[in-house]
Amino acid sequence: MQCRAVNRLPEGPDWEYELKFDGYRALAFKTDRRVWLMSRNGRDFAPLFPALVRALEKLPEDTIIDGEIVALNAAGRPSFNLLQNYQTAAQTIVFYAFDLLVLSGRNLTDTPLQERRELLQTRVMRRLREPIRFSETLNAPLDRVLEAVRSLGLEGVIAKHRRSSYEPGRRPGTWVKFRINPGQELVIGGYTVGGRTFDAILVGYYEGDRLMYAAKVRAGFVPALREALFKLFAALQVDTCPFANLPESHKGRWGEGLTAAEMAECRWLRPELVAQIEFVEWTEANHLRHARFVGLREDNNPKTCTAKSICLRLDRQVWRAKKIMITAIMIIVAVRSPIIAAPFNRNPLLHLSPSRF
């Protein structure tokens, strides 16, 4: 289940609000006394976050929860940059649980969100301790919620319909997100030379199979981060520019364009790295103004970085998300008795062949 990006959050008694965390989305589940922690594209997070896995050992058997892995800075605020660099610095890593998909073998995806979250609090969270936390509902009028989130410098707010079911991989509009600072996941296709590492990264988005240049990004880098990224770039060097819309005829009003003369100073990369970028706005030329690097998105496929809106995703992402949930369910089913497996057999997703994904 994913959120649709909106420019205005809905209001009314049918909606509830949560913080938008700046972390890695993950499914946590337990079966046969083993805990699994899986990203939304199927990556195994367990080796990266062993403390979370140990804390999740108190999960009820045959249970799946949805949540987000978050790094907290000294002020207790989420920091995606710290999450990416937690291995080289002592950081607080927590798992914020916000939904319950399966409880002790019972499939809850068709149960209204309000009931799922109540079960998550009363039947699951009471068994768990730090660093596993419940993503609390923000019980205040929307204007006060937005004011508080903005004043604290947090990423944004998520609104969820209280009666929504859980639809793996889809963006049905019953979960929506609003960013305080606009952001976009974009693909790194090159960089400009500067100093011992690089001056700026060159990022873009996909239109079909064509990678389209969007911006030069200079802000957001500290020396250690530049060096770490530059090491990753070394294995991705190519001779040909991957951007289909370059060169451009002029630099544009804000100097965001990339001309043939400037391209001579660029180095090109295979488009395999995804960056989270914050910015002020998209220009009429489909470029970003005042772009800032936030961090790498190792949990995302570059091909899903499409057009201007983060909610414009390829259909195969829906199937990927379904596959991940099915994988979790099938692992449970494979090691449990037919009695435990029975509730899952009512799920039509299980009748889809794995070769479809």
155/197 same-domain check: no
pLDDT tens digits, one per residue of 177-202: 988 866 788 999 999 999 899 999 99
- Stretch 144-159: mean pLDDT, rounded? 86
- Stretch 233-239: mean pLDDT, rounded? 96
Q: Which residues have C-beta within 8 Å of that of residue 234, sequence separation ≥ 6? A: none
Q: Are strands 175-179 and 4-5 parallel, antiparallel or unpaired?
A: parallel
328/299 same-domain check: no
Query: Which residues have a catalytic role annotated?
Result: 20
99/164 same-domain check: yes
Q: Does residue 253 come out as left (phi exceeding 0), alpha (psi in the -120 to 50 range) or beta? A: alpha
Q: Is the peptide bond before 47 cis (omega within 30 degrees of 0)?
A: no
61 to 32, 169, 283, 299, 335: CA distances (angstroms)? 7, 24, 51, 26, 11
Residue 263 lies in a domain: yes
Residue 311 lies in a domain: no
20/145 same-domain check: yes
Contact criterion met (CB below 8 Å) for 52 and 38: no
Residue 46 lies in a domain: yes
Residue 324 lies in a domain: yes
256/352 same-domain check: no
222/341 same-domain check: no
Residue 338 lies in a domain: yes
- pLDDT reported for residue 283: 73
Contact criterion met (CB below 8 Å) for 322 and 169: yes
138/205 same-domain check: no
Which domain does 262 fall in, by range?
Answer: 183-304
106 vs 281: which has the higher pLDDT: 106
163/201 same-domain check: no
pLDDT tens digits, one per residue of 238-284: 999 999 999 998 876 656 789 999 999 999 999 999 999 988 667 76
- Stretch 205-222: mean pLDDT, rounded? 93
65/126 same-domain check: yes
- pLDDT reported for residue 157: 94
- pLDDT reported for residue 155: 80
CATH of the domain at 266: 2.40.50.140
Residue 193 lies in a domain: yes
Cα 313 to Cα 322: distance, rounded to the nearest angstrom: 15
- Stretch 37-48: mean pLDDT, rounded? 89
153/78 same-domain check: yes
* Lowest mean pLDDT across 32-46, 62-76, 288-302, 307-321: 307-321
157/198 same-domain check: no
Other beta carbons within 10 angstroms of residue 170's beta carbon come to: 17
Per the structure, the count of domains in the chain is 2
CATH of the domain at 350: 3.30.470.30
Residue 296 lies in a domain: yes
268/293 same-domain check: yes
> How would residue 347 be classed by pLDDT, with cut points 50, 70 and 90?
very low
Rounded to two decimals, the pTM is 0.64
